[in-house]
Structure 1
Amino acid sequence: MATASRIIGLVKLQRKIGRLSKVAKQEIKQALEQSAEEIVSLAKSLVPVDQGALRDSIGWTWGKVPKGAMTIGKVAEASLAGELTITIYAGNSDAFYARWVEFGTQKMGAQPYFYPSYRANKKSTRNRIRSSVRQAAKQVASS
Structure 2
Amino acid sequence: MVKGEEAFQRFMTKTVPERIRRAAMEALEESADIIVQKMKFLVPEHEGKLRDSIGWTWGELPKGAVLFGTVGGGKDWLHIKIYAGNKKTIVTNKRGVQFQNAKLQEFGTREMKANPYFYPAWRTQKRGAKSRLTRRINKEIKALNNG
TM-score calculated relative to the size of structure 2 = 0.79
Shift of 1:66: 0.9
- Alignment partner, residue 102 of structure 1: 106
- Rounded to whole Å, the distance in 2 between the matches of 1:22 and 1:47 is 37
TM-align CA RMSD? 1.6
Matched, 1:84 2:78: yes
Shift of 1:83: 2.4
Shift of 1:36: 0.2
Percent same amino acid at aligned positions?
41
Paired residue type of 2:89: A
Matched, 1:124 2:128: yes
Pick one of 48, 60, 63 that aligns with 2:59: 63
- Rounded to whole Å, the distance in 1 between the matches of 2:46 and 2:66 is 19
Paired residue type of 1:23: R
Paired residue type of 1:123: R
TM-score calculated relative to the size of structure 1 = 0.81
Deviations 1:3-31 (A, max 9, x none): xxxxxxxxxxxxxxx88521210110000
Structure 1 segment 1-143 matched on structure 2, within 5 A: 21-50=17-46, 52-78=48-74, 81-96=75-90, 97-143=101-147
Paired residue type of 1:55: R
Contact 1:20-1:140 within 8 A present in 2 as well = no
Larger radius of gyration: 1
- Choose 19-28 or 50-59, whichever is displaced more: 19-28
Give secondary structure in 1 for the equivalent of 2:23.
Answer: helix
The alignment covers a number of residue pairs equal to 124
- Rounded to whole Å, the distance in 2 between the matches of 1:63 and 1:77 is 14
> Whose RCO is larger (CA < 8 A, sep 6+)?
1
